[in-house]
Structure 1
Amino acid sequence: MTRSADFWNSAYDNDIAPWVIDEPQPAIVALERDGWIQGRVLDIGCGAGEHTILLTKLGYDVLGIDLAASAVAFARRNAAAQGVPAARFDVGDAIALGDAGTPPVYDTIVDSALFHIFGTEPDARAAYVRSLHALCKPGGLVDILALSDDGPGFGPQISDSLIRESFTDGWELEDLQSTRYRGRVTAGALEQQPDLGVPEGSSINVAAWLARIRRV
């Protein structure tokens, strides 16, 4: 479900975010390796900034945005610590970014673990998809990595059909496959899902979807 900026700020301020793993998601690294990240890039819901940092290192024109000011501050510190001070981050609302009049300037939008938070809120999900459409150039790609309901995990989990149903008019779903999402087992994650089978502080790979969607 969607949460306030204060909720997300608290996750970074108190170091309890299970998605902060000190490395890019392997599925996103593979996307770039396979050529599915091109041109000007938006890392939407960038969190700790690992994907923006990676893509900046590789020479992409990339911007990371996040609703939480604490996430953006964390990402900037992270970039500096990794020797990538050129990595760019801004605070921004993923839904409001696509307000009327916004020019479609991005060739690729990378969504790592943002889309699924709208899973139980159809109005917010539709608004988010409209925002993506407004931001992405015609012919551009939206790459989505989302937690799957196909197995135990943590956080909001969604079905593949929800992705299919959300991207119809103005979109072409080119690929949708099962993959894994790497997380960090926090006390909160164990409270939510006690049968994860690994101790607190461990890393874990849970079921996820990887979607490649073209803006038409």
Structure 2
Amino acid sequence: MTEATEVWNSAYDNDTAPWIIGEPQPAIVALERAGGIRGRVLDPGTGAGEHTIALTALGYDVLGVDLSPSAVAYARRNAAAKGVPNARFEVADMVALAESGTDSLGAFDTVVDSALFHVFMADADARAAYVRTLGMLCLPGGRVHVLALSDAEPGFGPRIGAGLIRDAFAGPGWEVEELRADHYYGRITDTVADQAHELTTDATGKVELAAWLARIRRTGG
């Protein structure tokens, strides 16, 4: 098990993950209500499983995957507690899948990436491998939706510019159909407290952060 995996495991085992807010991201909820999700759905970097749980409850065929075994265990407990025990989760490394060339997870019409893409901001090789994996798994005509933290305003975590998303999907087989400003909600934990001095929480303890929401079409196989 890699050091990186241990870091992610610790966030779930010790409840220090600033991205766990107990519900789906509003941007993803709005995306579904607008008809942006169809067919078989992949939720990479599922974390606490909120999007897989919510979409499963709505009748979608969803698979949530995460590099961290602790995240998957957390997501399964979360699904059971929310009365959606049929929500499906697997441990999978989206970068390693590209390196192995396997599409063992299957084929998907929609990918909902909530706060995974930006994790690769400083690792161009991992980012490229992740996009290759998406290319293997997303069916032609399918969509990848990316909700990523933005560097346009103060915040915490791996915040990126819009250009990083455009550049990552600039190659053959992809078309960035839309990329716009949106919001992501987190919570201030000890792990990000030193980055959150300018931020204020709402009545529920959540903090609103600037984000990008991109819609990218898979144009080829």
- Partners of 2:152 and 2:102 in 1: CA distance: 39
Which residue does the alignment assign to 1:73? Answer: 73
- How far did 1:198 drift? 4.2
Which residue does the alignment assign to 1:4? Answer: 4
1:41-190, aligned counterparts within 5 Å? 41-98=41-98, 99-102=100-103, 105-169=107-171, 170-190=173-193
Which residue does the alignment assign to 1:210? Answer: 213
Which 4+ runs in 1 deviate beyond 6 A? none
- How far did 1:96 drift? 2.3
Taking only the aligned residue pairs, the percentage that are identical comes to 61
TM-score (norm 1): 0.95
Contact 2:9/2:69 (<8 A) preserved: yes
- How far did 1:196 drift? 1.9
The 3 A distance-change label for structure 1 pair 38 and 4 is same
Contact 2:200/2:207 (<8 A) preserved: no
The amino acid that maps onto 2:218 is: R
Q: Report the 3-state secondary structure (helix = DSSP H, G, I; strand = E; otherwise coil) of the residue aligned with 1:86.
A: coil
- How far did 1:102 drift? 2.1
- Partners of 1:3 and 1:158 in 2: CA distance: 23
Contact 1:167/1:173 (<8 A) preserved: yes
- Partners of 1:87 and 1:198 in 2: CA distance: 30
Which residue does the alignment assign to 2:197? Answer: 194
- Partners of 2:186 and 2:126 in 1: CA distance: 25
Q: Deviations over 1:157-194 (max 9, x none)?
A: 00001111110121000000000000011122212332
The unaligned stretches of length 5 or more in structure 1 are none
The amino acid that maps onto 1:119 is: M
- Partners of 2:152 and 2:53 in 1: CA distance: 30
- Partners of 2:200 and 2:30 in 1: CA distance: 27
- How far did 1:28 drift? 0.4
Q: Report the 3-state secondary structure (helix = DSSP H, G, I; strand = E; otherwise coil) of the residue aligned with 2:8.
A: helix
- How far did 1:101 drift? 4.6
Contact 1:97/1:135 (<8 A) preserved: no
Matched length: 214
- How far did 1:195 drift? 2.2
The amino acid that maps onto 2:161 is: S
Contact 1:66/1:90 (<8 A) preserved: yes
- Partners of 1:117 and 1:66 in 2: CA distance: 13
The amino acid that maps onto 1:39 is: G
- Partners of 2:191 and 2:102 in 1: CA distance: 40
- Partners of 1:64 and 1:3 in 2: CA distance: 22
Q: Report the 3-state secondary structure (helix = DSSP H, G, I; strand = E; otherwise coil) of the residue aligned with 2:94.
A: coil
Of 28-37 and 93-102, more deviation after overlay is shown by 93-102
The unaligned stretches of length 5 or more in structure 2 are none
Which residue does the alignment assign to 1:23? Answer: 23
